[in-house]
Amino acid sequence: MEQIDIAVLGIGKMGETHVEAAKASPYVRKIYGYEPDKSRATERGRELEIETTSDLDVILDNPAIKFIDIAAPNAVHCELAIKALRAGKAVLCEKPMGETIEDAERLVAVAEETGGFLQLGFELRYSKAYVKLKEWVDNGKIGSPVNLHCRYFCSEFHHKDSWRSNSPGSLIGEKLSHYLDAQRWYMGSEVKEVYSLTAPNVVKYFNHPDNHQINTRFVNGSIATLNFVMYIAESDPSDPLLDVMEKQADDGHFLQLYIMGTEGAMEFDIFKRRLRRWQFSDGELGIESKIVETITYDKAEDTEQMHNVHGQNLRVIELVAKGLPPENPAKDSLMSMKLCFAAERSEKEQRAVSMTEYC
């Protein structure tokens, strides 16, 4: 088995998740970490027990480092990824690709120019519950999908004066891109247009909207809705003695996904740890619906089922070590990012935005 050296750029909270995945990979020989602040780099290196540097060139000029994992703040994703690709490194980059559509297109262009490996961190495509829904769709369990609804209500957990609350970009690219990417994945059609609405902020210190209602129409006529609010739920006390999912299950938190098709429907309710599937039939009095399959899982599987960054990173490291191409092509991820930017434009200009404006 060939092993490779890797580097994680940005070793804060998310970076730590990426480091831990790398430690678990049998394909990794050595892990490096990068933080631009020297004292911060030293401190995090000690805490994570990895070699760190505040000099990016030390990472880029090291021929033993084959793979770079970017978990830095959004504003530097594009810049770091381009430098890594031009240095001949394979790249896994957290979303968004950049803070503008021009950045995202430039990044994909560099990946094509260099022939480099570039994959975006859409980990729902590696999360077991979402993969199961995709399996049901692909196996025709609900016929042709025509209607998708996602309700995502949570508490504010980015906090005052954080880079996320101060970000010039919206939560669409930062957070909701996962669910917009999933829409494209499930519906099997490209987006025709998007119309997004946002109400006045309740979270006054956010430098961007704290709510979004994103309505998407696909070329094949199917539609999707994503309704997001980041303040209604009870604030998370971060009590280590409480099970987070059980505490949040009835305090205003919701994360539910419904996909309805011509022959049935399916649901993923995260706080109930449950997937369900309905089957439609032609009854004597009209259409009949029946629940025909239910899947539940234990809290020990929460991360693997709903946000499997760990499993995604293990798989991407394996792909790079084996010299295989990305499983989620950068061009496809770019289309999901274009949907995000179109939703932002729709809110700013208060109109429906056609995806032809981005092609």
What is residue 298's predicted lDDT score, i.e. its pLDDT?
94
Tell the burial category of 73 from Cβ atoms under 10 Å away from its Cβ (0-12, 13-18, 19+).
middle
Please state, in angstroms and rounded to a whole number, the distance separating the CA atoms of residues 267 and 152.
Answer: 14
CB atoms within 10 A of CB 300: 8
pTM confidence score: 0.94
Return the residue matching tokens 């770079």: 68
Pair 303, 310: CB distance under 8 Å? yes
Render 37-60 in DSSP notation, one character per residue: SHHHHHHHHHHHTSEEES-HHHHH
pLDDT score of 244:
83
Please compute Rg for the chain using Cα positions.
Answer: 21
Q: What is the rounded CA–CA span in Å between residue 180 and residue 170?
A: 14
Domains defined for the chain, CATH in brackets: 4-120 (3.40.50.720), 124-307+338-358 (3.30.360.10)
**91 within 8 A of 70, measured Cβ to Cβ:** yes
Angle formed by the axes of helices 128-138 and 177-187, nearest 10°:
20
| Tokens encoding 1 | 């088995």
CB 168 within 8 A of CB 103: no
Q: What is the pLDDT of residue 237?
A: 75
Cα–Cα distance measured from residue 92 to residue 68, given in angstroms and rounded to the nearest whole number: 6
- Tell me what pLDDT residue 324 has: 97
Q: Is residue 129 packed enough to be buried (19+ CB in 10 Å), middle (13-18) or exposed (0-12)?
A: buried
For residue 336, which amino acid is it? S
> What is the reported pLDDT for 125?
97
* Residue 343 to residue 171: CA distance in whole angstroms: 11
pLDDT string in tens for the chain (359-residue length): 789 999 999 999 899 999 999 999 999 999 999 999 999 999 999 999 999 999 999 999 999 999 999 999 888 999 999 999 999 999 999 999 988 999 999 999 999 999 999 999 999 999 999 999 999 999 999 999 999 999 999 999 888 988 888 887 789 998 999 999 999 999 999 999 999 999 999 999 999 999 999 999 999 999 999 999 999 999 987 777 778 888 888 899 999 999 999 999 999 999 999 999 999 999 999 999 999 999 999 999 999 999 999 999 999 999 999 999 999 999 999 999 999 999 999 999 999 999 999 86
